[in-house]
Structure 1
Amino acid sequence: MTVLDRLAATIEARKAADPASSHTAGLLAKGPARCAEKFGEEAVEAIIAAAQGDRAALVAECADVLYHMAVMLAAQGLGLADVLAELERREGVSGVVEKASRKGG
């Protein structure tokens, strides 16, 4: 089991937790829109760390991004496995070809 598998399992388990005792449960209780906003906030912090060349902060912020992405997915009834399956589907496909295959290409 990878760390991403354990993260997904923890988030799933926390769905039923008391929001007062679990940050994850608290985020999920606020709904999908708030989970998405929090993901966006963390992504911006990662961008800032990258732009400033702060490697340690970038690693920490990217960990936050992955966590908040997983929570955002859970709020929509999805999981990291869904994203990994999509990456596997795209594996070996040119980025140009893959983008052209989407609606509106």
Structure 2
Amino acid sequence: MTVIEEVYQEILARKQAPKEGSYTSYLFEKGDDKILKKVGEEAIEVVIAAKNEQAELISETSDLLYHLLVLLVGKDVSLEAIEQEMAGRIGKKSRIHDRKTVEDY
């Protein structure tokens, strides 16, 4: 089992059996808006960290991955579903003009 899988399982356990004082339990208690806000904040911090030292990028990426895992657990999305989606993309070519731009959202 990878570390990411272990963290996912720990987050799932907190969702199923909240623990007082647990940050993960706190996020689930506050709900989607809080979780989504944290994912957004951490994504921005990754972008900023990418301009700085590698250690900062590693730290902020870890924070983002954790919050993404909380989001996935909260939305009942398995790691297997993500892996299957990514596996389906291996070897596929994508043309730039087929991708949405920021303005399309």
TM over 0.5: yes
Counterpart CA distance in 2 for 1:31 and 1:100 is 35
TM-score (norm 2): 0.83
Q: CA RMSD in A?
A: 2.2
1:17 aligns with 2:18: yes
TM-aligned CA deviation for residue 78 of structure 1: 1.2
Q: Percent identity?
A: 35
Please name the residue that 2:31 is paired with: 31
2-structure distance, mates of 1:11, 1:3: 12
Q: For residue 33 of structure 2, give the secondary structure of its aligned residue in structure 1.
A: helix
Alpha-carbon offset, residue 85 of structure 1: 1.5
Shift of 1:93: 0.7
Pairing of 1:1-105 with structure 2 (within 5 A): 1-15=1-15, 16-18=17-19, 20-51=20-51, 53-96=52-95, 100=98
Map Cα deviations across residues 29-71 of structure 1 (whole Å, 9 max, x no partner): 11122211101101111111112x3111000000001100000
Structure 2: runs of 5+ lacking an equivalent: none
CA distance in 2, matches of 1:95, 1:68: 28
* Post-superposition offset of 1:95: 2.6
What is the DSSP-based 3-state SS (H/G/I as helix, E as strand, rest coil) of the residue aligned with 2:21?
A: coil
Instruction: With a CA cutoff of 8 Å and minimum separation of 6, indicate the structure with the bigger relative contact order.
Output: 2
Tell me, yes or no, if the aligned pair for 1:45 and 1:61 is still in contact at 8 Å. yes
- TM-superposed CA distance for 1:80, in Å, is 2.6
The number of residue pairs the alignment matches comes to 100
> How does the TM-score come out when normalised to structure 1?
0.83
Q: Distance in 2 between matches of 1:17 and 1:36?
A: 19
